[in-house]
A and B are shown apart, each in its own frame.
Chain A
Amino acid sequence: NAGVTQTPKFQVLKTGQSMTLQCAQDMNHEYMSWYRQDPGMGLRLIHYSVGAGITDQGEVPNGYNVSRSTTEDFPLRLLSAAPSQTSVYFCASSYSFRAREQYFGPGTRLTVT
């Protein structure tokens, strides 16, 4: 199993550009989520999904969009990048949310200039 994969590993965007961060898992996990990690702050939940076709907002959803058309993929879209979105983004998955081990992707380091 490849586990949780994320692409790209690094990305530089200009303010106003849009892009999609890719996340995929091959473990047939129902629960997938996106987090951002900023210095001095814990991981913060952006969006999550409890299954294909079902998504919900997390703690910091503004400026981001998600969809879950398949169990395997959970892309995160930045609609119009802003410098405040400079961060490291992690995708995670688990078999289900409750009392299940979380598997994290390697992260995407995004810089918005």
Chain B
Amino acid sequence: KNEVEQSPQNLTAQEGEFITINCSYSVGISALHWLQQHPGGGIVSLFMLSSGKKKHGRLIATINIQEKHSSLHITASHPRDSAVYICAVGETSGSRLTFGEGTQLTVNP
């Protein structure tokens, strides 16, 4: 079983829909990261959080430390949001990030 599980693996939405991507992990963490990988391959950090909720534009990330679960929400989705969204956790012990397999999001016009 992977230490970081994302769901769904693939998600297709219509423009304007509210989108949720989930991430569950099984280890104690110092921080959780949400990353975005565009079709061209580049990886960009969206959020890093260790508690509560963060918002940036139409993106919202939440984390529940007790339940070991995080969600990434996209409001009013747009075709330019089409990308792979990756969850990664930094463990409390050690100096490594462990990554989920990613969620491929496609937003159709």
Contact = CB atoms under 8 A, between A and B. Distances in A.
Co-complex (A, B): yes
A42 B30 contact: no
B95 A107 contact: no
A103 to B, nearest CB: 7
Nearest to B40: A106
A26 interface: no
Contacts of B30: 98-99
30 contacts: A35-B99, A41-B101, A42-B2, A42-B4, A42-B98, A42-B99, A42-B101, A42-B102, A43-B86, A43-B88, A43-B99, A45-B96, A59-B96, A88-B41, A90-B43, A98-B30, A99-B30, A100-B48, A101-B45, A101-B48, A102-B33, A102-B35, A102-B88, A104-B35, A104-B43, A104-B44, A104-B45, A106-B42, A107-B42, A107-B43
B15 to A, nearest CB: 28
Contacts of A102: 33, 35, 45, 48, 88, 97
Q: Is the interface of B mostly helix, strand, loop or mixed?
A: strand
A93 to B, nearest CB: 11
B71 to A, nearest CB: 18
Contacts of A40: 101
Interface in B11-48: 30-31, 33, 35, 41-45, 48
A76 interface: no
Contacts of A99: 30-31, 48, 50, 90
Chain B interface size, as a band, is: 20 to 34
Interface of A: 31, 33, 35, 40-45, 48, 50, 56, 58-59, 88, 90, 92, 97-104, 106-107, 109
B31 A98 contact: yes
Contacts of B31: 98-99
Contacts of B4: 42
Give 3 closest A-B pairs by Cβ, nearest first.
Answer: A42-B99, A104-B43, A43-B99
Given A58-B96, A104-B42, A106-B42, 6 more contacts: A42-B88, A59-B96, A88-B41, A98-B30, A102-B48, A107-B41
